Amino acid sequence: MVPILEALYRLDLPPEEWARTVAEALVPLIDRDRLGVLGAFYECRDPSSLTLERPVRHGVSDDLLEVSAQPRKSGASVMARVTP
């Protein structure tokens, strides 16, 4: 947990580097299936839209990154087959 907290408090970093540092620190805790960790800033101007911006990843495939970046209407889900 200490590496995660240290990464979260690295406010001296530019936003993309900060998000990448946090994603890398989270790997041991949340990436047990080795599918990768994806982080992003997001825009949600109204309840029916959510857009991911400036995604950062650690070990996430190009296909999964592409699917996750597509805008969706509220309540929609994405089903993707991912192979580690």
Classify residue 25 by burial, with Cβ atoms within 10 Å: 0-12, 13-18, 19+: buried
What is the value of pTM for the model shown?
Answer: 0.65
For the cut 50, the answer to whether the pLDDT of residue 50 exceeds it is yes
Maximal CA-CA distance, the chain:
37
Identify the residue with better confidence: 10 or 43: 10
For the cut 70, the answer to whether the pLDDT of residue 40 exceeds it is yes
List the structure tokens of 60: 């996430």
| pLDDT-based confidence at residue 14 (cuts at 50, 70, 90) | very high
End-to-end CA distance of the chain: 25
